[in-house]
């Protein structure tokens, strides 16, 4: 494995772990800061810091043509996708949100399969996706009875909307290449989407509802530096260099991390069944990785 592959896989692993922690941080944060301002200001600050750092390193800003594609990706992934997750976690728990977001790989591979030049789904990938989803279902099986309760419906619809927007943005980003550094692209996406969320937040009166509680502030800054700058930057780098079918399996790992943090911080249950389910999820990731390798091998052979 060359240095580029090591970096790409390291970025994917970082996304798997870091974004698993953000569900708890978001859940805590929205109790004190309204969702659009909580999300928007976080992304603006992260974007300013990252753009400034990259400019000092000599990276160029995107041109007008690239900016259009970057805006589409940023609004899809961050503006709508992350915005709806933050909104949805006002109404449902972080565990259920994580469970619903595990459907991202299905949407991603499905959308990609409709692209004429995109890789086709093979049996190995389908098997891995199903295996991973079964593992997540085992972990969160107690939440299924609440899925369509009226008190959960708004949150569930927000998360499902986020899943669609995130999947679309991911596929679009893969096939609409830009000529700037991936991290610069990610930073500008943060600025564009964050500005849109912040404008929306102030326009609907969220400014009057901000509460500067210690827990909310700590969650806010954690999401800026770890969730946004490190996590999102790693995601953009990973989808630039790895098959989407593999990268999208982060959605299976995230609930495992969220569950562990729930046990550690909130004293939620942890038993043998959950440990087995976690093992099933990891097995699903391995199967999808093997399927992605076969997929890439077929594509390389056809192009050769």
DSSP state string for the chain = --HHHHHHHHHHHHHHHHHHHHHHHHHHHTTTS-HHHHHHHHHHHHHHHHHHHHHHTTPPPP-HHHHHHHHHHHIIIIIIIIHHHHHHTTTS-HHHHHHHHTTHHHHHHHHHHTSTTSPPP-HHHHHHHHHHHHHHHHHTGGGGGGTT-HHHHHHHHHHHHHHHHHHHHHHHHHHS--SS-HHHHHHHHHHHHHHHHHHHHHHTTGGGG----HHHHHHHHHIIIIIIIIIIHHHHHHHHHS-HHHHTTHHHHHHHHHHHHHHHHH-----HHHHHHHHHHHHHHHHHHHHHHHHHHHHHHHH-
Average pLDDT for residues 202-227, to the nearest whole number?
A: 90
pLDDT bin (cut points 50, 70, 90) of residue 173 is confident
**Rounded distance between C-alpha atoms, residue 165 and residue 104, angstroms:** 10
pLDDT 10s digits, 278-304: 788 778 877 877 776 676 666 555 555
pLDDT 10s digits, 104-144: 877 887 787 777 776 777 788 888 888 888 887 776 666 66
H, E, C per residue of 241-261? HCCHHHHCCHHHHHHHHHHHH
| Sign of the CA dihedral running 242, 168, 222, 250 | negative
Contact 99, 162 (CB under 8 A): no
**Rounded distance between C-alpha atoms, residue 262 and residue 249, angstroms:** 21
Comparing 266 with 156, which gets the higher pLDDT?
Answer: 156
Q: What pLDDT, on a 0 to 100 scale, did the predictor assign at position 269? A: 66
Say if pTM beats, i.e. exceeds, 0.85.
Answer: no
**Rounded distance between C-alpha atoms, residue 304 and residue 298, angstroms:** 10
Model confidence at 29: pLDDT above 60: yes
152: which 2 tokens? 């959960």
Q: What pLDDT, on a 0 to 100 scale, did the predictor assign at position 166? A: 92
Q: What pLDDT, on a 0 to 100 scale, did the predictor assign at position 47? A: 93
Range of the domain at 257: 3-303
Comparing 144 with 36, which gets the higher pLDDT?
Answer: 36
**Rounded distance between C-alpha atoms, residue 225 and residue 231, angstroms:** 8
Q: How many CB atoms lie within 10 A of CB 190?
A: 29
Q: What pLDDT, on a 0 to 100 scale, did the predictor assign at position 199? A: 97
**Rounded distance between C-alpha atoms, residue 80 and residue 277, angstroms:** 31
Question: Of the given ranges (119-123, 147-151, 230-234, 259-263), which has the lowest mean pLDDT?
Answer: 147-151
Structural domain count of the chain: 1
**Rounded distance between C-alpha atoms, residue 154 and residue 281, angstroms:** 28
Q: What pLDDT, on a 0 to 100 scale, did the predictor assign at position 261? A: 82
Question: Of the given ranges (132-141, 154-163, 206-215), which has the lowest mean pLDDT?
Answer: 132-141
């Amino acid at each position: 494995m060359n240095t580029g592959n090591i970096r790409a896989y390291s970025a994917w692993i970082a996304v798997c772990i870091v974004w698993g922690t953000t569900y708890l941080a978001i859940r805590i944060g929205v109790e004190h800061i309204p969702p659009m301002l909580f999300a928007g200001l976080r992304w603006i600050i992260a974007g300013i810091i990252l753009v400034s750092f990259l400019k000092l390193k000599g990276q160029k800003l995107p041109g007008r043509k690239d900016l259009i594609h970057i805006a589409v990706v940023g609004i899809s992934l961050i503006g709508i996708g992350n915005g709806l997750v933050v909104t949805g976690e006002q109404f449902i728990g972080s565990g259920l949100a994580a469970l619903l977001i595990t459907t991202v790989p299905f949407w991603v591979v499905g959308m990609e399969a409709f692209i004429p030049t995109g890789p086709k789904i093979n049996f190995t990938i389908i098997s891995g996706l199903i295996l991973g989803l079964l593992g997540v279902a085992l972990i969160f099986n107690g939440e299924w009875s609440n899925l369509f309760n009226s008190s959960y419906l708004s949150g569930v619809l927000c998360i499902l909307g986020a899943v669609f927007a995130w999947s679309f943005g991911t596929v679009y980003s893969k096939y609409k290449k830009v000529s700037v550094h991936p991290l610069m692209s990610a930073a500008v996406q943060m600025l564009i989407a964050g500005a849109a969320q912040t404008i929306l937040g102030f326009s609907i009166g969220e400014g009057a509802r901000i509460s500067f509680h210690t827990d909310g502030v700590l969650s806010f800054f954690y999401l800026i530096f770890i969730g946004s700058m490190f996590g999102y930057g790693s995601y953009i780098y990973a989808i630039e260099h790895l098959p989407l079918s593999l990268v999208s399996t982060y959605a299976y790992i995230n609930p495992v991390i969220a569950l562990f943090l729930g046990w550690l911080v909130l004293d939620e249950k942890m038993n043998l069944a959950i440990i087995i389910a976690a093992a099933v999820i990891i097995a699903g990731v391995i199967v999808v990785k093997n399927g992605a390798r076969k997929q890439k091998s077929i594509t390389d052979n056809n192009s050769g």
